[in-house]
Structure 1
Amino acid sequence: MYSVDTEEKKISISFDAAWGAERTPDILDILDKYDIKTTFFVTGFWLENYPDVAEEISERGHEVENHSLTHPHMTNLDEQQIREEVERVHHQLYDITGEEPILFRPPFGDYDDLLVETLEDMDYYPIQWSIDSLDWQAPDANYIESIVLDEVEPGEIVLFHNNGTYTPEAVDNILKELIKEQGYEVVPISELIYKDNYYVEPTNGLQVPEN
């Protein structure tokens, strides 16, 4: 799923966490400032290094979801390897947050039918993104803001990273514009997607409710 077909003026923003955490407290404070909840996708090795940060993310009301154990290209793995990558992080997350993760974002956005089928068998929803903020390589906050604000529409899923140099500043300005100026509602991904009675457009990954 890359985005959601909805008539409501709402989107999700998400943060992938694999390396570093020093800017995460600033991001959490900004999210509190606008009173919104979001979704963080974390790897197993990141959890090992920053369990206290993951716990704080959860305690502050955000989703902490599965981003694999070792951040591999998932299409290079067989079914058993896929299951191990997902299951080990699943248990880590439950031990830290007390919540059962239900969303999985493949590293690099790399997926195939085997991954999707295996995730569905494990009761996971495979989640991609429709807007890449490019915050991990952006020259400044204005660059990130222009990418997101130029492309945003209802049902979009925006990709950020928890430790991008300009991510906190950009997220602050983006949320101010989207929420206060444009009237968007920002919700966690699990609240944006349909849980059943839907299909996914094969050409663009749009999740569409069945009538």
Structure 2
Amino acid sequence: MHKPILLIILILFTILSGCSTKKSLPIEDLPSNNNEWHPKEVSPSSFEIEQIVKLANNGMVIDSPFTVFESTIQQVRSDWGEPDQIDEVAGGSYATYKERNTVFGFNQDGEIYDVRFYNNNLRELTIEEVEHEIGQPIDIRKNNQESIYVYELKNEIELKMIFPNDTKRLGHISIYNPALAKAEQYVLDIKGNSNQLSDKAWKNMQNWRDQIKKFTVEHKNVYLNGPNKKRVALTFDDGPDDIITPAIINILNDYKVKGNFFFLGTNVKLHTDVVRKAYESGHLVLSHSLNHIELSKLGKGEVEKEIVSAGEEIQSVIGKKPAIIRPPYGETNEQVVSVSEEQGYSIVLWSIDTLDWSQRESTNIVDNVVKNLRNGDIILMHSDSDKTETEKALPLMIEALEKMDFEIVNLEDLLNIKAYQ
């Protein structure tokens, strides 16, 4: 072929190719597919912000299945095990899982209202990038250490982006549900009556009940009752002995329900087989101090001795040190709370007093429970040697509770606290 002809063919091919090729549209102008923005090219930082917001709208953070809508700390414990630490704050508690880079805030009912996520990769994100991707926050809260950028998401939950002031890069994020965080404390009045008390004794008891309820509200580590759910706990003080306590254990075992025994350290030493039987039957073996004396009237060193010695006696039998204590007579104060916390204990009192130590008839013991029963009640009984009527009342009480569709659980499950250290 002659060169002029070949040149003409090449020119024509180039012109035709150019006419048949459309100019590409900018990516931003491409139609979306089902309202999703897949084609848009984004930087790694932008992609992480998009992921954070998407999860946050579902109440979640990265690498966690738990939400601030319906998850509980008990579910977290079941799936992830015990947290590395729990910090008590006004109105709630925070459980830290270091290896998971996650912290859960939960209320008295165990409902998770705050999920915080920490990860070094978050530090790649700057304030400018966050504002560019999701806009201006509804609020910026500042202190000496950090700036908190608050974004309101669907269902009125908040996404908080926390920037340390020294770096202005993202330190951690928080998904926060104000409705659960601000839930009022569910603290019950203490119920139970006896016709064997004098007017003066009854008045004193009523005054104490009012005062201890107020004290409980003000102290996170002190409990009168559990959450507002159809569950209750049966508790027994002052044992063990070699007659009534074993009988109570057998009744609980026969009905396949769990009990909570607050044993005196001095009695533990005398009846190790009974303590071991209670523990091996699946009931909780907890502390009622070493001797049955008012801890609130002792000096700090004496309070420490009562708590530590009782724990050591129990540990010597079952191999575990309890993490729950009930002070004798329910008497407590700031010092008792402080020492208990230092020694790893929560204080658990009661919301129904059967008064099996006063009006001892089995009918009155059962009536004090059935006629006063509410969600989350902690029921006080005794298991020392003169409580034959309590032994008689217990089967009737269990049957009545089950007929009313109440679940009988141990204190660890009722309160979402550790039974042992």
**Corresponding position: 1:77 with 2:302:** no
Q: 2: distance between equivalents of 1:92 and 1:175?
A: 30
User: Partner amino acid for 2:336?
Assistant: L
The equivalent position to 2:263 in structure 1, one of 38, 42, 52, is 42
Larger Rg belongs to: 2
4+ residue stretches of structure 1 with deviation over 6 A? none
2:406 corresponds to 1:188 = no
Candidates 211, 223, 226, aligned match of 1:4? 226
Match of 1:67 in 2: 288
For 2:371, the equivalent position in structure 1 comes to: 150
Q: State how 1:128-167 maps to structure 2 within 5 Å.
A: 128-163=349-384, 164-167=387-390
Equivalent residue of 2:311, what SS? Answer: helix
CA distance in 2, matches of 1:165, 1:105: 22
Q: Which moved more, 1:84-93 or 1:131-140?
A: 131-140
Aligned partner of 2:348 in structure 1 is: 127
Q: Tell me, in whole angstroms, the C-alpha distance in 2 between the residues paired with 1:143 and 1:73.
A: 27
Indicate if the aligned counterparts of 2:240 and 2:271 stay in contact, CA closer than 8 A.
no
- Which residue identity lines up with residue 190 of structure 1 in the other structure? E
Partner of residue 176, structure 1: 399
> Could you tell me which residue of structure 1 aligns to residue 323 of structure 2?
102
Q: Percent identity?
A: 28
Uncovered stretches (5+) of structure 1, i.e. residues with no partner: 197-211
Q: 1:89, CA displacement in angstroms?
A: 1.1
- Displacement of 1:137 in angstroms is 2.6
Count of aligned residue pairs for this structure pair: 194
Q: Which has the higher contact order (CA 8 A, sep 6+)?
A: 1
2: CA distance, partners of 1:129 / 1:72: 18
**Which residue of the partner structure matches residue 54 of structure 1?**
275
- Give 1:195 shift: 3.2
Instruction: Give 2:234's match in structure 1, choosing from 13, 16, 20.
Output: 13
Instruction: State which of 28, 45, 60 in structure 1 corresponds to 2:249.
Output: 28
SS at match of 2:381: strand
Distance 1:105 1:139, change over 3 A: closer
Match 2:338 to one of 88, 103, 117: 117
8 Å contact 1:28–1:57 — kept in the other structure?
Answer: yes
Residues 83, 175 of structure 1: alpha-carbon distance in 2 compared, 3 angstrom cutoff: same
Q: Assess if the C-alpha contact under 8 Å between 2:239 and 2:245 holds in 1.
A: no
Measured after TM superposition, the shift of residue 80 of structure 1 is 1.4
Instruction: Summarize deviations over 1:13-57 as a string: whole Å, max 9, x none.
Output: 100024744112221121112111111001111112211111111
**Maintained 8 Å contact 2:240/2:263:** no
> Root-mean-square deviation (CA), in Å?
1.5
CA distance in 1: counterparts of 2:382 and 2:329, whole angstroms? 12
Q: Distance in 1 between matches of 2:227 and 2:293?
A: 30
Contact 2:240/2:267 (8 A) holds in 1 = yes
Q: How does 1:196-211 map to 2 (within 5 A)?
A: none
* Aligned-partner Cα distance in 1 for 2:238–2:292: 10
